Amino acid sequence: MVFETKDNVDLFYQIDGEGEVLVMLNGLWGDHSSWNKQVEFFIKNYQCIRLDHRGVGQSEKWAGHYSYDLHAQDVYELIEYLGISKCHILGVCHGGMTAVTFVLNYPEKVSSIAINGTQILKSFKHQQIYAGWKNLLKTTDFKSLYQATILPQIMSSRFLEANRNRLEFIAQAAQSRVEIKSALKLIDACYRYGFDENDIQETQIPALFLSGDEDGFITKAVIESYTKYWKNSTYYNFKNCGHFPQNEAADEYNRVV
């Protein structure tokens, strides 16, 4: 299904199940299908709503000025369009960054969040990573960037070994979900993203922070440290997993969430 935002961008979403609303927000180069293993589990008790972020997947390949305030606004407009008063949010990486922004901008709409592989605070280190991605993307194709730079950083050794003959295909699939102009603008938004400690200390929304102990991009130490600032939060780490424990350890992930 598709709905049109107030700035006339078509966004794809999918609804499965009934019950309390659980909004699922995918990573930067992923789409709604990245939550398939979670939907199979959660539709027993929840109405699962998946959204392809603008610029990615089946949503419009918009190449305007991206920001996380804008991504959060897209989520807000969707749940308003659907007549939803309150929701739980499940997010990974880019989707988690959108979730945190949504909590801070629209706290009255959120019951809880669970996020994995997600940066929250401003980070010069990650700004340098994003700047590197942008420079590489300008000089090579997206598939090469993803296969040579991003996959080895975010995926576990177990995943890379098990999928050694599929890595080029995985990178090609990621490339098919984006266009270069949109990808560059999305990276710009990542570069500008990040909150100060004071920004998150005031929220009372319950949060579950999740990490994979082999995630070399947003490390478990970084994610665990966020519990010092987010008062109503808990932390869980998945062994032998990278950036996406929802895929590598789906049963455990679903139980924990």
pLDDT digits (tens, 9 = 90+) for 10-31: 999 999 999 999 999 999 999 9
User: What tokens does 135 get?
Assistant: 């420079």
Please report the pLDDT score of residue 121 as a whole number: 97
Using alpha carbons, list the distances in angstroms from residue 58 to 40, 94, 186. 21, 17, 16
Q: DSSP states of 94-111 as a string? A: HHHHHHHHHHHH-GGGEE
Cβ contacts of 141 within 8 Å, gap of 6 or more: 175
Say if strands 87-92 and 110-116 run parallel, antiparallel, or are unpaired: parallel
Residues in the chain: 257
Per-residue pLDDT of the chain (257 residues; tens, 9 = 90+): 999 999 999 999 999 999 999 999 999 999 999 999 999 999 999 999 999 999 999 999 999 999 999 999 999 999 999 999 999 999 999 999 999 999 999 999 999 999 999 999 999 999 999 999 999 999 988 999 999 999 999 999 999 999 999 999 999 999 999 999 999 999 999 999 999 999 999 999 999 999 999 999 999 999 999 999 999 999 999 999 999 999 999 999 999 99
Amino acid at 120: I
pTM of the predicted protein model: 0.97
3-state SS, residue 231: coil
Helix (H), strand (E) at residue 253 = helix 250-256
183, 63 in Cβ contact below 8 A?
Answer: no
